[in-house]
């Protein structure tokens, strides 16, 4: 275990200390007085490494991350979990724009809201299954080009899960779960809305419990309502866009 006082520290130095620490076998990091440092957890490995972040971390936390867990006890900024491969990011506040861009594995749990462009081009393959669960709502251009993985929108404050237009454009893989039935056709012509069945709920259960535990919320508060799911209408939404010269 190690505590790093990051007050006034440049990200390059901070992340070097973290990488060095992991190299020495340290498993638990407490980062104090974080404010704006970019790239925390960028490209690090180690399934049992946990980094606790106190303060407001800068952009791109958990980019290319491959195993560790990041716990942000405040709000987080943009580009969380950019192209992340494995591990877990827990945000005990709101997240900024572009969460989980190109994400290909691991989990991102956000207690509050997330900004614009969440989950663009998430992808999955077999056991590589990225999962984002958002407690509040999301902005526009959500799940664009989504090719795989799971996004769950909980809308826990019982407001709308959506806070914008243009959702799931070009979605051609993966699944979005909602806690509320909505007329999704007004947001996207590329997807269909279904009721979540028992298989879906069994699959989700483990992640919803983990999510609830991460934020000390009773899990029944989350799973108490029926879920709906959104799937792409076609694996090739743009199949007829082109004609060969």
Q: How many CB atoms lie within 10 A of CB 199?
A: 8
* Buried b or exposed e, range 84-96, using 16+ CB within 10 angstroms: bbbbbbbbbebbb
Q: How many CB atoms lie within 10 A of CB 38?
A: 18
Q: By CB under 8 A, is residue 243 in contact with another protein? A: yes
**Where in 132-151 is the site for another protein (CB under 8 A)?**
144-145, 147-148
User: Least distance in Å: CB of 8 to another protein?
Assistant: 19
Give me the residues paired with residue 31 across strands: 4, 53
Q: Spell out the residues 6+ positions from residue 200 whose beta carbon is closer than 8 angstroms to its own.
A: 175, 177, 227, 229
**Where in 13-52 is the site for another protein (CB under 8 A)?**
15, 19, 38-39, 42-45
Sign of CA dihedral 202, 207, 213, 217: negative
User: Least distance in Å: CB of 31 to another protein?
Assistant: 15
User: Least distance in Å: CB of 238 to another protein?
Assistant: 6
Residue positions counted in the chain: 245
Q: By CB under 8 A, is residue 96 in contact with another protein? A: no
Separation CA 128–CA 131 (nearest Å): 10
With contacts defined by CB under 8 A, how many residues of the chain interact with another protein?
A: 50
Separation CA 10–CA 14 (nearest Å): 6
Decide if 152 contacts 134 (C-beta within 8 A).
Answer: yes
Given 88, 104, 137, 229, the residue binding another protein (CB under 8 A): 104
Give me the residues paired with residue 32 across strands: 5
Decide if 40 contacts 13 (C-beta within 8 A).
Answer: no
Decide if 61 contacts 41 (C-beta within 8 A).
Answer: yes
Only one of the segments 116-124, 186-194, 203-211, 223-231 lies at the binding site for another protein (rule: CB under 8 A); that segment is 116-124
Site string for another protein, 174-213 (x = CB under 8 A): ----------------------------------------
Q: By CB under 8 A, is residue 123 in contact with another protein? A: yes
Given 170, 196, 203, 217, the residue binding another protein (CB under 8 A): 170
Separation CA 121–CA 84 (nearest Å): 12
User: Smaller CB distance to another protein: residue 173 or 201?
Assistant: 173
User: Smaller CB distance to another protein: residue 56 or 219?
Assistant: 56
Site string for another protein, 71-90 (x = CB under 8 A): -------xx--xx-x-----
User: Smaller CB distance to another protein: residue 24 or 236?
Assistant: 236
Among 244, 133, 153, which residue's Cα sits nearest to residue 193?
153
Residues at the site binding another protein, with contacts judged by CB under 8 A? 11-12, 15, 19, 38-39, 42-45, 59-60, 63-66, 78-79, 82-83, 85, 98, 101-102, 104, 117, 120-121, 123-125, 128, 144-145, 147-148, 170, 172-173, 235-245
């Amino acid at each position: 275990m190690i505590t790093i006082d990051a007050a006034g520290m440049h990200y390059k130095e901070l992340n070097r200390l973290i990488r060095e620490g992991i190299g020495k076998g340290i498993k638990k990091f407490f980062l104090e007085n974080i404010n704006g440092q970019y790239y925390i957890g960028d490209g690090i490995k180690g399934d049992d490494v946990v980094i606790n972040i106190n303060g407001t971390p800068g952009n791109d936390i958990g980019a290319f991350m491959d195993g560790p867990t990041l716990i942000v006890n405040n709000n987080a900024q943009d580009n969380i979990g950019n192209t992340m491969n494995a591990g877990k990011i827990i945000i005990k506040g709101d997240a900024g724009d572009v969460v989980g861009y190109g994400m290909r594995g691991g989990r991102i749990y956000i207690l509050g809201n997330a900004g614009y462009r969440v989950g663009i081009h998430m992808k999955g393959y077999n056991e590589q299954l990225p999962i984002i669960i958002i407690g509040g709502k999301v902005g526009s251009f959500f799940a664009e080009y989504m090719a795989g993985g799971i996004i769950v929108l909980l809308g826990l404050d019982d407001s709308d899960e959506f806070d914008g237009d243009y959702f799931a454009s070009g979605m051609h893989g993966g699944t979005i779960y909602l806690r509320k039935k909505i007329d999704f056709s007004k947001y996207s012509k590329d997807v269909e809305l279904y009721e979540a069945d028992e298989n879906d709920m069994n699959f989700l259960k483990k992640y919803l419990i983990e999510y609830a535990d991460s934020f000390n919320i009773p899990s029944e508060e989350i799973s108490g309502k029926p879920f709906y799911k959104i799937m792409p209408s076609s694996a090739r939404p743009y199949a007829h866009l082109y004609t060969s010269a």
